[in-house]
Structure 1
Amino acid sequence: MSIADAPVEVDLPTHLDLPDTDGKPVENAYEHPQSALLSDILLPVLNRLHPDDNYFVGADTGIYWHHTKPDPLTGCKSPDWYYVPNVPRTLDGEFRRSYVLWQEGIRPLIVMEYVSGSGAEERDDTPFTGKFWVYERGIAAVYYAIWDAARNRLDVYELVRGRYQLLPPDSTGRVWIPEMEVNIGPWRGEYHGYIADWLRVWDRNGLLLPTAEERGSDARRLAEQEHRRAEAEKQRAETEKHRAEKLAARLRELGVDPDTV
């Protein structure tokens, strides 16, 4: 049994009562674009998996896993990106200020951290405070992904009998997440004007899932191709008509009615 499964006192605070910020800035300019990229790419996937629209995606949003006094933030971690299935997008019509486990009752399927230093913080298993320990024992997310863009390294752990086990990547460095029906892995390219190593997503057939901009570019390219095809067909038809008219005129010169040929 994890810490969050332990009996708790009644009248616990909700997301409306708990702090929604720790006052600390984002550590670098890479984190927000990376989270935006994941959310952008996965939107069609999550909409397909949840036709009822019941799922929540958080980025730098606190997960309260343990009610602590006097400082409630002691019982909170804010993953860089995470996904929780089968919960409403909003609570009582309001955006979540945080995700409160004792209020929601459903654990994240996956939490992600982006390494900004040596990676020691993301692998810290100090009881009650270390990220690794809290994600494994407190929050008990099914998967914990550590993405180290500087070293182009992705580690994905799966919760097995209450402990995280490192999943082996395939030959391309990608890891399959069956519940989401996607592979996640490193990709180098341009996003929002930055050329860098990014964490991206592929489908089961190995096709890179596009961003909204790429989907729009694909749609524009297909429309342009269709326009060129239509123009070529129109030109071919006009050329054929002109050839037929020229042949008919020649037959009339020879005294032959082209309609009887």
Structure 2
Amino acid sequence: MRAKVPRKFKSPDMNLYDGTTDLKHHLSNFKSRMYLANASDATSCKAFSTTLTKAAMKWFDSLLPRSVSNFDDILHKFLTRFSIQKDKVKHAPSLLGVKQEVEEPLRKHMERFNKVCLEIQDLPTEAVIMGLVNGLREGPFSHSISKRHPTFLNDVQEQAEKYINMKENARLREPNWRLGNPHQSKENEREPKRKEEVGPEKPKRYHNYTPLRVSCVDVYREICHIEKFPPLRPIKNKKGGSRN
């Protein structure tokens, strides 16, 4: 008994073809799914349109009625229309164009470099190492790699991971990373000290005072004999000062 063919063959991990990516990879992926589903030729013709989008879908809709008799006809027309896109497939020399930007961290650059490597088929290890060294920004890691001349990709990745961890750990230990702006933190530390030195402002007991019509010296002469006001204390010893 023949197994039933599912209605939809598009899975979440199969990207739609828009006419700009690698058409051979798309066809290989589609054929594998049709083979696993044991789909007939007619079913493959109908299911193929569900894997297209944008320009590729417009091309499929533009096919004349009854111009396709089997799936091989669709493949021939499809390859004739989009075979020019095969020139856009990346090759090993394209790695030389992956440069580390001025403010780009090494971890982010390595992730971007590895993503480009995955898009290139049959990539030699020597080309990967050469492209990585060529694209690094000048610094301790690029100097270390250039001196050692590694021949294995695992060695390069291990060295890069060590350097990334060292930089990130050093960054976490910086006061600027933990406390924010260091100048701002210093100002915050000085602020309470200034308040302590000045002290809290005492509330005023009276708001209106009678202005004096005589000098303070005359006032003190008049009240110096009163016991409630003790005489002034002598000034403490100071260098170059008088005790009187």
- Which has a greater percent of helix? 2
TM-score by length of structure 2 reads 0.29
- Which has a greater percent of strand? 1
* Largest Rg, 1 or 2: 2
Higher relative contact order (CA 8 A, sep 6+): 1
